[in-house]
């Protein structure tokens, strides 16, 4: 769209928001630009990683759908794709890595042997791109996870292996935070669970608790590294029992002062993750959100601007808790262009945040305090027809990225034709 038209539309929107909603859009955009989103590397290669040639997802409660042409096959290709995605996402953000994305020089390096040196190129790239990094232990797609149990396994040797792996990944996270000058969030998810009914739930969860206690005995400077733990309702192969449920991790997080991760796809479809924010933050210092989209199950579709996403960001802003909630993407959709999936999901989260920031919080609080629920409802309804799109397009223009529509599609398809389609 023509810059003059965008500017003109924005000025009209700015005046309307000021007059009708008591909102200063300039202040809103300043806040929006300051919120980083952690963009996950595994969308770019279908969670294959670089541990071995022609690696691919190998069970462990995960499944990638689709085989769209142009998957990144090497670290350099993946970084190039991520750079392209970042160039189309307004704002300054973060990159999120899994441990299986280290660069091992063609050598066999098992998960409990990885070191910071295996991520040197990622750190150098992040420095060049002015990005912070986040990190994840990779407790799946490995022979020692083949039976569906890792940190809760009945086998002491298996538990020891995975504890060593997580201790290594925490060490690497702290190194990343030190090198980049921004705390690295280390997130832990494990696939442990049972396909059919399990009669020893207590034992599995008791072992997981002890494994976590041993892992977290080593403390790191929170300015360099922060820990997060992520629960789940069920997964492929763990339909009847998940050891690390949301209840388990919530209790552990509260007791031990660790960040709790809430993934939008990891709950029953009738549950509201938005409603959990004000409850969890009563007891946890902060929360990590994994933005995903489950369609009937934890299917990891690319995030979109749907009611769930809007409600989530509204709740964070209404509390207000932007300084206590961290946002990351977590999905792997190989049915469409992978760069496009990154961009759509990231922009959806940012749009939801912008919509929440454009809500007239002061006016709504006054209505609610006075018991004027009609005024509250009407104001919420009136906000739905306000010119949000004009503010979003202006934000994109100021950040030097295309607005939604034809220009954005052209940029992604042009990259596909010139770069991704050459990968055979």
pLDDT of residue 273: 97
Q: How many residues does the chain have?
A: 424
Locus of tokens 């052209």 = 410
Q: Is the pLDDT of residue 334 over 60?
A: yes
227 is catalytic: no
Cis-peptide, bond into residue 320, ω within 30° of zero: yes
Work out the number of other CB atoms within 10 angstroms of the CB of residue 306.
12
Q: Which helix (H) or strand (E) holds 194?
A: strand 193-194
- Residue 384 maps to a domain: no
189 is catalytic: yes
- Residue 374 maps to a domain: no
Query: Which listed residue (45, 81, 330, 359) is catalytic?
Result: 330
- Residue 386 maps to a domain: no
pTM over 0.85: yes
Over residues 63-91, the pLDDT tens digits come to 788 999 999 999 999 999 999 999 999 99
Tell me what the pLDDT averaged over the chain comes to: 96
CATH number at residue 211: 3.20.20.150
- Residue 319 maps to a domain: yes
54 is catalytic: no
263 is catalytic: yes
Q: Is the pLDDT of residue 60 over 60?
A: no
pLDDT band at 54 (very low <50, low <70, confident <90, very high): low
Q: Is the pLDDT of residue 132 over 70?
A: yes
- How far is residue 78's CA from residue 100's CA, in Å, rounded to a whole number? 13
DSSP class of residue 119 equals: G
Taking each continuous run of H as one helix and of E as one strand, the counts in the chain are 14, 10
Q: Is the pLDDT of residue 333 over 70?
A: yes
- Residue 291 maps to a domain: yes
Query: Which listed residue (98, 165, 232, 326) is catalytic?
Result: 232
Q: Is the pLDDT of residue 62 over 80?
A: no
Q: Is residue 402 a contact partner of residue 84, using CB atoms and an 8 Å limit?
A: no
- Residue 95 maps to a domain: yes
Q: Is the pLDDT of residue 55 over 70?
A: no
Q: Which domain holds residue 132?
A: 24-357
- Residue 36 maps to a domain: yes
Q: Is residue 335 a contact partner of residue 65, using CB atoms and an 8 Å limit?
A: yes
93 is catalytic: no
Q: Please spell the DSSP secondary structure of 42-103, one letter per residue.
A: GGTTTS--SSSTT-----SS---B---S----SHHHHHHHHHHHHTTSSS--EEEEEGGG--
81 is catalytic: no
Q: Is residue 68 a contact partner of residue 337, using CB atoms and an 8 Å limit?
A: yes
Query: Which listed residue (42, 122, 125, 189) is catalytic?
Result: 189
Over residues 298-322, the pLDDT tens digits come to 899 999 999 999 999 999 999 999 9
330 is catalytic: yes
- What is the number of structural domains in the chain? 1
Over residues 25-43, the pLDDT tens digits come to 999 999 999 999 999 999 9
Q: Is the pLDDT of residue 219 over 90?
A: yes
Give alpha helix (H) positions in 235-282: 246-256, 273-280
- Residue 106 maps to a domain: yes
pLDDT of residue 222: 97
290 is catalytic: yes
98 is catalytic: no
């Amino acid at each position: 769209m023509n810059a003059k038209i965008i500017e003109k539309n924005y000025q009209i929107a700015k005046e309307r928001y000021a007059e009708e909603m008591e909102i200063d859009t300039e202040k809103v955009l300043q806040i929006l630009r300051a919120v980083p989103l952690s963009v996950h590397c595994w969308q770019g290669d279908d969670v294959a990683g670089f541990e071995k040639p022609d690696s691919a997802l190998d069970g462990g409660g995960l499944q990638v759908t689709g085989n769209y042409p142009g998957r990144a096959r090497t670290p350099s290709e993946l970084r190039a794709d991520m750079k392209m995605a970042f160039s189309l996402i307004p704002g300054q953000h973060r990159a999120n890595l899994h441990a299986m994305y280290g660069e091992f020089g063609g050598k066999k390096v098992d998960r409990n042997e990885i070191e910071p040196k295996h991520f040197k190129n990622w750190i150098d790239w992040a420095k060049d791109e002015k990005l912070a990094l986040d990190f994840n232990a990779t407790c799946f797609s490995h022979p020692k996870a083949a039976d569906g149990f890792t940190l809760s396994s009945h086998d002491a040797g298996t538990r020891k292996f995975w504890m060593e792996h997580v201790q290594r990944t925490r060490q690497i996270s702290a190194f990343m935070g030190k090198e980049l000058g921004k705390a690295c969030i280390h997130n832990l998810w494990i696939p442990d669970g049972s396909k059919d009914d399990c009669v020893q739930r207590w034992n599995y969860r008791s072992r997981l608790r002890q494994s976590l206690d041993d892992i977290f005995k080593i403390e790191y400077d929170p300015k360099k590294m922060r820990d997060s733990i992520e629960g789940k309702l069920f997964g492929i192969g763990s339909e009847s029992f998940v050891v690390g449920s949301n209840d388990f991790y919530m209790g552990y997080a509260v007791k031990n002062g660790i960040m709790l991760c809430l993934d939008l796809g990891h709950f029953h479809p009738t549950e509201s993750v938005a409603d959990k924010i004000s409850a969890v933050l009563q007891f946890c210092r902060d929360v990590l959100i994994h933005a995903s989209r489950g369609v009937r199950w934890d299917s990891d579709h690319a995030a979109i601007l749907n009611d769930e996403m809007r409600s989530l960001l509204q709740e964070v802003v209404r509390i207000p808790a932007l300084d206590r909630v961290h946002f990351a993407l977590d999905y792997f959709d190989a049915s469409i262009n992978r760069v496009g999936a990154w961009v759509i999901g990231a922009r959806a989260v940012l749009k939801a945040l912008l919509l929440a920031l454009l809500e007239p919080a002061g006016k709504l609080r006054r209505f609610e305090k006075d018991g004027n629920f009609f005024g509250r409802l009407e104001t919420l309804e009136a906000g739905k027809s306000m010119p949000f799109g004009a503010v979003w397009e202006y934000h994109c223009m100021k950040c030097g990225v295309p607005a939604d529509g034809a220009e954005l599609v052209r940029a992604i398809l042009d990259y596909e034709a010139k770069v991704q389609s050459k990968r055979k």
